[in-house]
Amino acid sequence: MKPFVGVLLWASSILAWAQALPSWNEGDARSRIVAFVQAVTEPDGKDYVAPGERVATFDNDGTLWCEQPLYFQLVFMLEQVKAAAPKHPEWKNNPAFKALTSPDPREITRVSHKPLLALVGIANSGMTVEAYDQTIRDWLATARHPKFNKPYTDLVYQPMQELLAYLRANGFKTYIVSGGSIEFMRPWVEKAYGIPPEQVVGTISQVEFETKGGKPVLRRKAKLDFVDDGPGKPVGIYRSIGRRPIAAFGNSDGDLQMLQFTEAGPGRRLMLLVHHDDAEREFAYDRKSNVGKLDRAWDEAKAKNWIVVSMKSDWKKIFAFQP
Amino acid sequence: MKPFVGVLLWASSILAWAQALPSWNEGDARSRIVAFVQAVTEPDGKDYVAPGERVATFDNDGTLWCEQPLYFQLVFMLEQVKAAAPKHPEWKNNPAFKALTSPDPREITRVSHKPLLALVGIANSGMTVEAYDQTIRDWLATARHPKFNKPYTDLVYQPMQELLAYLRANGFKTYIVSGGSIEFMRPWVEKAYGIPPEQVVGTISQVEFETKGGKPVLRRKAKLDFVDDGPGKPVGIYRSIGRRPIAAFGNSDGDLQMLQFTEAGPGRRLMLLVHHDDAEREFAYDRKSNVGKLDRAWDEAKAKNWIVVSMKSDWKKIFAFQP
């Protein structure tokens, strides 16, 4: 390469890095991310990774979008229970159903999980996958978050959208690896994150192929086939991607094994946790939270020097709609 | 666009089409494939499909590579049973094991499948996924096909390699959707077909995440988690891809449901079966075969006017090593 061209390329790279991640404050988190990306993309560097192996996996709830006060998918699925009630008169005296439909919101915290999840399973199965997909789209179009009064899909983190784009601009393939279900994410994540349906790894319900009446359909069953959370995340990555990530991003103990699995591979690696410490602009929670609990993974992050992002001090803004 | 540029583009398209699929004879199969690709890629045409939705799924055994006289993966797995024998003295009097190791090849046909598959399960589990991957690579490097005396990975069909490349050049994303296991295909399909590991959908064994001794590993269990064959293929596509293919390619009854599922979507579709009718250059088999049986799917292909490729008359050559 001619020296002049080299200098030009170098200058344009510097410029690209300076423009990347505009919603991230200068600081340890941002500079370590940029240093990692420079290291694995520098063709002559000792840490170079070929593009095909540049796999980055992202948890969704609490990492790419908000998860408080309750996982949004759970809100949707509980709504489906209420919507299905007219078809299930036998639920009338079911304690879990009574708690769910009680005007007193504390009632729901008093019933055990198992009968509630049984109702959720029934109400979210039996239909074709296309019909369920449409129900999800319809709900997302009208439902509003109780704190922000915005569509749930507006509650994606602007700095993480920039991070996804920055990684892809540097030859990474970005995946979601979430405890949420594949069907709940696929309708909206391409628009929100630039991640196509085939790069969504998640929890999987049983579906069955049927040709009743000559028309082939896939029908949802009430049984879960695979839970993509905790130790399930490395398994989900193995099953759907077949390559070990070189960078992994999470926010809770459910992401710990994905980060451990990422770190255990050869060569340079990046492990990052988002810490929810901004009660004003979003929510503040960690060790004691029922939703998105960050306890063991936080200790391990400190011990192993993984990046821990403070939403309060590392991010200029959290949501695009905020000033 | 200036007319002159339009004419140039048009001329270069014609040239590209003429050069595509060089191992395919002129005829119905080839011209229908080309007509389909032209139709779905013509931006102003009524059949236009956006690039992200151009999903093409391919069966592997018998569609992309040879599967006779026995599925190559089964040959490998049976070899693993023999290799594991020293660690399993209890197998000595096991009738299935005795049949497998008998000098008389007819013995194996006399035992029932279940005890044989139990041995296969044991011999192909217990190790980490990395160790198993290496065993597969080692075997592929040395094993030879009994008829052709070539490495198994040489027995990929040249016309199908060209078809994969042709579809990708036209904005398609190409996937394998096979009854074979993901781990048996991933080590070699990228080189053979240009299909990366994350685009391999297949049968899945149970694996578990372990951190014994501090090192995180994925360990294989003897249990199957998902069988990607017959009605399992549309389910595998749903789970791993999340979009319905617009083109699907198979060769046996195990591909029927994938082709039905593909056809049932809206817009223009392409369904194709490879018929093994060339005993001289490869093998000839269909309705009566134990391996790659083509019976119900053939009838349905005729009834619905799906493309049926005659390997004998549609393909100039089958393997790259043939004259």
DSSP code per residue over B83-102 = HHGGG-GGGTT-HHHHHHT-
Q: Out of A198, A217, A225, whose CB is closest to B243?
A: A198
Q: What are the helix (H) ranges across B143-188? A: 158-169, 182-185
Q: Which residues of A touch B240 (CB under 8 A)?
A: 198, 240
Minimum CA–CA partner of A195 in chain B: B52
Please state whether A128 falls in left (phi above 0), alpha (psi between -120 and 50) or beta. beta
Alpha-carbon gap, residue A315 to B81, rounded angstroms: 56
Angle at A30 between CA A25 and CA A32, to 5 degrees: 155
CA B189 to chain centre: 9
What pLDDT does residue A3 have?
Answer: 59
What pLDDT does residue B6 have?
Answer: 62
Average pLDDT over residues A229-251: 98
pLDDT higher at A195 or B214: A195
Q: Out of B52, B208, B234, whose CB is closest to A218?
A: B234
Backbone φ and ψ for B288, nearest 5 degrees, come out as -100, 5
Mutate to test the interface with B, among A183, A184, A235 (most CBs of B within 10 A): A235
Q: Which residues of A touch B172 (CB under 8 A)?
A: none
At A312, list the tokens. 């309060």
The letter for the amino acid at A88 is: H
What pLDDT does residue B7 have?
Answer: 65
Res. B11: pLDDT tops 90? no
Q: What percent of chain A has pLDDT over 90?
A: 86
The letter for the amino acid at A207 is: V
Minimum CA–CA partner of A217 in chain B: B261
Average pLDDT over residues B269-275: 98
Residue B21 has a CB neighbour count (10 Å cut-off) of 21
- Does a cis peptide bond (omega within 30 degrees of 0) precede residue B22? no
Q: Out of A208, A216, A239, whose CB is closest to B182?
A: A239
Res. A266: pLDDT tops 80? yes
Judged by CB atoms closer than 8 Å, whether chains meet at A241 and B211 is answered as: no
Q: Out of B186, B209, B240, whose CB is closest to A234?
A: B209
Angle at B310 between CA B308 and CA B314, to 5 degrees: 110
Given a contact cutoff of 8 angstroms between Cβ atoms, the answer to whether A269 and A35 are in contact is no
Residue A161 has a CB neighbour count (10 Å cut-off) of 17
Q: Looking at the complex, report in whole angstroms how far the Cα of residue A191 sits from the nearest Cα belonging to chain B.
A: 13
Residues of chain A whose beta carbon is less than 8 angstroms from a beta carbon of chain B are 52, 129, 173, 182, 186, 190, 196-198, 200, 204, 207-209, 211, 215-218, 225-226, 231-232, 234-235, 238-243, 257, 260-261, 263-264
Average pLDDT over residues B112-118: 87
**Which residues lie closer than 8 Å to B112 by C-beta, 6 or more apart?**
B96
Per DSSP, B128 falls in state: B
Average pLDDT over residues B45-53: 97
Residue A61 has a CB neighbour count (10 Å cut-off) of 24
Q: Looking at the complex, report in whole angstroms how far the Cα of residue B206 sits from the nearest Cα belonging to chain A.
A: 9
Q: Which residues of B touch A242 (CB under 8 A)?
A: 182, 186, 197-198, 200
Q: What are residue B181's DSSP bridge partners?
A: B203
Helix (H, G, I), strand (E, B) or coil at A298: helix
End-to-end CA distance of chain B: 45
Q: Which residues of B touch A225 (CB under 8 A)?
A: 226
What pLDDT does residue A12 have?
Answer: 59
Minimum CA–CA partner of A129 in chain B: B238
Q: At what angle do helices B256-263 and B296-304 cross, to 10 degrees?
A: 20
Q: At what angle do helices A28-41 and A158-169 cross, to 10 degrees?
A: 20
Q: Which residues of A touch B211 (CB under 8 A)?
A: 257, 260
In terms of C-beta density within 10 A (0-12 exposed, 13-18 middle, 19 or more buried), how is residue A43 classed?
exposed
What pLDDT does residue A7 have?
Answer: 65
Q: Which residues of A touch B239 (CB under 8 A)?
A: 182, 204, 207
Which tens digits make up the pLDDT trace of A48-101? 999 999 999 999 999 999 999 999 999 999 999 999 999 999 999 999 999 888
Alpha-carbon gap, residue B121 to B119, rounded angstroms: 5
In terms of C-beta density within 10 A (0-12 exposed, 13-18 middle, 19 or more buried), how is residue A279 classed?
exposed
Backbone φ and ψ for A273, nearest 5 degrees, come out as -120, 140
What pLDDT does residue A15 have?
Answer: 56
Judged by CB atoms closer than 8 Å, whether chains meet at A261 and B226 is answered as: no
pLDDT higher at B17 or A206: A206
Res. A2: pLDDT tops 60? no
pLDDT higher at B206 or B104: B206
Residue B70 has a CB neighbour count (10 Å cut-off) of 13
**Which residues lie closer than 8 Å to B162 by C-beta, 6 or more apart?**
B20, B21, B22, B23, B24
Please state whether A107 falls in left (phi above 0), alpha (psi between -120 and 50) or beta. alpha
At B47, list the tokens. 């059949």
Average pLDDT over residues B121-133: 96
Minimum CA–CA partner of B220 in chain A: A235
Which tens digits make up the pLDDT trace of A140-194? 999 999 999 999 999 999 999 999 999 999 999 999 999 999 999 999 999 999 9
At B123, list the tokens. 């011999």
Q: Which residues of B touch A190 (CB under 8 A)?
A: 52
**Interface A:B, Cβ pairs < 8 A:** 85
**Banded pLDDT at B304 (limits 50, 70, 90):** very high
Average pLDDT over residues B48-54: 97
Q: What percent of chain A has pLDDT over 70?
A: 94
Q: Which of B154, B174, B176 is nearest to B164 (CA)?
A: B174
Given a contact cutoff of 8 angstroms between Cβ atoms, the answer to whether A203 and A179 are in contact is yes
**Banded pLDDT at B309 (limits 50, 70, 90):** very high
Judged by CB atoms closer than 8 Å, whether chains meet at A198 and B239 is answered as: no
Range scoring the smallest mean pLDDT among A24-28, A311-315, B17-21, B160-164: B17-21
Cα distances (angstroms) measured from residue A248 to each of A67, A129, A174, A212: 19, 30, 10, 43
Q: Out of A196, A218, A260, whose CB is closest to B211?
A: A260
Range scoring the smallest mean pLDDT among A112-116, B22-26, B175-179: A112-116
What pLDDT does residue B104 have?
Answer: 85
Judged by CB atoms closer than 8 Å, whether chains meet at B197 and A241 is answered as: yes
- Does a cis peptide bond (omega within 30 degrees of 0) precede residue B69? yes
Judged by CB atoms closer than 8 Å, whether chains meet at B242 and A215 is answered as: no
Q: Which residues of A touch B186 (CB under 8 A)?
A: 242
Res. A24: pLDDT tops 70? yes
Mean pLDDT of chain A: 94
Q: What are residue B262's DSSP bridge partners?
A: none
Q: Looking at the complex, report in whole angstroms how far the Cα of residue B239 sits from the nearest Cα belonging to chain A.
A: 7
Mutate to test the interface with B, among A133, A239, A243, A263 (most CBs of B within 10 A): A239
Which tens digits make up the pLDDT trace of B142-189? 999 999 999 999 999 999 999 999 999 999 999 999 999 999 999 999
Provide, for chain B, the percentages of residues in helix, strand and coil under a 3-state DSSP scheme, each rounded to the nearest 5.
Answer: 45, 20, 35
Range scoring the smallest mean pLDDT among A10-19, B137-146, B179-188: A10-19
Alpha-carbon gap, residue B147 to B70, rounded angstroms: 11
Strand arrangement, sheet containing A200-210: A217-226, A200-210, A173-181, A55-58, A247-250, A270-275, A307-310
What pLDDT does residue A41 have?
Answer: 98
Given a contact cutoff of 8 angstroms between Cβ atoms, the answer to whether B38 and B155 are in contact is no
Judged by CB atoms closer than 8 Å, whether chains meet at A261 and B216 is answered as: yes
Given a contact cutoff of 8 angstroms between Cβ atoms, the answer to whether B40 and B48 are in contact is yes
Q: Residue A290 is inside which H or E element, if any?
A: none
In terms of C-beta density within 10 A (0-12 exposed, 13-18 middle, 19 or more buried), how is residue B46 classed?
exposed
Mean pLDDT of chain B: 94
Res. B39: pLDDT tops 70? yes
Given a contact cutoff of 8 angstroms between Cβ atoms, the answer to whether B233 and B258 are in contact is yes
Judged by CB atoms closer than 8 Å, whether chains meet at B257 and A216 is answered as: yes
Minimum CA–CA partner of A196 in chain B: B52
Length of chain B: 323
